[in-house]
Structure 1
Amino acid sequence: MIITNKAQALYLHMPFCLKKCHYCAFTSFPAPAGEGVFSYLSLIKKELEWRKDFLAPLKTIYVGGGTPTSLSLNALEKLGEIISPYISDKLLEFTVEANPGTLNREKIRLLKDLGVNRVSLGAQSFNDEILLKMGRAHTAAQTLEAYNLLREEGINNLNLDLIIGYPEGRESFINTVKTAISLKPEHISLYDLKVEENTRLYEEVAKGEIILPEEDEVVLYWEEAINLLEENGYERYEIANFARNQQYSRHNLTYWENKPYLGIGLAAHSKVGLYRFWNPNTMLEYREMLLTGKNYGEEKLTLEEDAKEEIILRLRLKTGLNLQEFQKKYRRDFMAEFGDKIQKFIELGLLFLEDDRLFLTRKGSFVANTVLIEFI
């Protein structure tokens, strides 16, 4: 493969967790006993060395999971040693995902020493009863404690993840949003609860043990949450993401702007130019992939397929889809192709057009999938 458009964004997957949350469909499991974690880290190192030609000097690194901060100090130090050769003065953002119950002062200091300058804290809710029902391994008090520790140790770029759509009632959810705002993190992510197969939540919903709120009710939650966030200085720069003072997630913008990224580790995905490749989600297959030196899964996108992704991703952003840039990149006149549909959605109040850019309205963002599918 000739690499003409290298990645400046690196994702590393740490699949280890204290326990599986009821809604989680990600590749994650408890850390193996003995040297199992270090064995996995050696595989991460091997894959990085194998794929290093895909990388330009990195602008962002994102360590996700799983729960990266469930690793021991020794394991985190080893991870830092593995990443270190790929860090240069071009690096702008180094994010690590953390769950509140897995952080302490010593661990935070080590993360800082390794170059981490942004932490994404999985709060999800500030209601202990709801956290328990979600299967989370922490309490609201632990979230506050972890947040304060991160601040005390000088981490000045923090994100809080929250879940919207869990059956908890308006008062509980809005209290969570207000509590998050009161902490003044630089960034808040607000994710719709997804019921995915092979999760405990899926079984609970199927058995009628959990009754999810109606879609119209969730939209009202969204409306109130967005109003609260914007009133307190948070900009909704992506459908589910809010930032103060333009402190956006640079790494995630790589995905939303359809730029190249490299994913390392179990179940990680990569996209470099028109090439997409991905890793298996079992250790056995991952080890085998590295032994053979062949991608587990791969595809070359057509320009038309890439254009569809560009449309979906760009319209999620506040900056919208630049129609001139789209035409230049894909040699397609978007308005000529979709003018009638665009006009229909404008009349319905779901899209608006300004300065040769197409945007979702707030109303449109609540039914984004319905709108976007019309353009692909």
Structure 2
Amino acid sequence: MSDFDDLLAGLDENENESDETDLDTKRQAAFEARVDTYIRAAMSPKLAKNKRLKAIEFLGESGEPKAIPTLVRIYNNDKDPKVRQAAEYSLGMFRALDDALDGPQADHALDLLSDIVNEGQLGHRAKNGPYYIALGILFVTLIIFGGIAAVIASSGGSIGGIGTPKETATPSQTPLPPNADAVGAELRMLYTDLINDAALLQQQMQVAGRGESINCELEFTQPSAVPVPAGLTEAETADLTVIADPLNEAQVSLAQLLSVFQQSCNSQTAIPREDAADYGGTIVDIQRNLNALAADISTLPEEMPTPMPVQPTATEVIATEVPTEEASPTIDVTATSEAESVESADVRAMQQELVSMQVIVDEMTSFRGGITILLQYWNDVEFTGSTLGCREIVPTIPENYVLPEGM
């Protein structure tokens, strides 16, 4: 007999029940009672340490979301390092289960969970219907706008029904001189990318600081530094250097923190909570320095300047409309470049919106996110009749996300 068999006396159900539905209901109730028993055992300071550790291990293997608040409380407050470590491991098992259910093996994982519950051995995954409905709305929006951004980025635009010619760029005989507006536009883009990456990384450090698992599927821009080239006038060099130096310093600092984040993902080891708090403080300093540059950044060009068109060579033009005999189509190279610049700006704007929506998804599906907590409360009511969730703090639900006008 295991150490906890005596705690679970009376929970075995009649295996010979003829009504299969009723039998499943009884097994589910027995499992819920078993989870409650192990929760009490894990929280009991009077219980032997080895029994508490086994109870915590069981809760992690159970896959039952109602155990998550108990494990988080133990991880945050228990004085015994081994007990906290066991709670951290069990919380990691919940994250691994969540990843499996979101991956290609979801059906297989659900079948295994169903078999475990019916056999009365390990845990049970909460009903996923409301979970997938809530996620589905957000992910469909992400997919739609991601597809639009990809189409804009990859397609060659057409103007006035006339196909844009496909030209092969040839190197100039003489390199173009440095352009202060082009450097300024690059610095502005670097500033925007650093702001977005810093906000996203700060959110992940807050997650790690709460003892939760970071989201290793996030994609960061990770921009490169933008040097001020030689060949500009003395005044242009001075004006751009004042902005470029602090931006490049922020880029180096943020790249180091992103390296720590990536190492944690690659090694599948959690970022220590104390370290996460220190990293978060460093990111706050980076964000403060970036905000101090906002006024200077506002003076920089928003778009890359349109280069002076080179005398075009003869190229094949594929028209989408049949021209009349009197008029032959002409190509406005300047208009084409301007249209491509506008498309590039639209892509960047959409990417920023995608990042914002991804942050909402991560917050709602985290261990203490609104979806997880509400599912736990409803499961308590449905399976045990408990309404303790009514006295808990109401989880934060983000406001409806509204896309900017003109998007």
Same fold (TM over 0.5): no
Relative contact order: is structure 1 or structure 2 higher (C-alpha 8 Å, sep ≥ 6)?
A: 2
TM-score range for the pair, normalised by the shorter chain length: under 0.3
As a proportion of its length, which structure holds more strand?
A: 1
TM-score normalised over the length of structure 1: 0.22
Q: Could you say which structure has the higher helix fraction?
A: 2
When the two structures are superposed, what TM-score results if normalisation uses the length of structure 2?
0.20
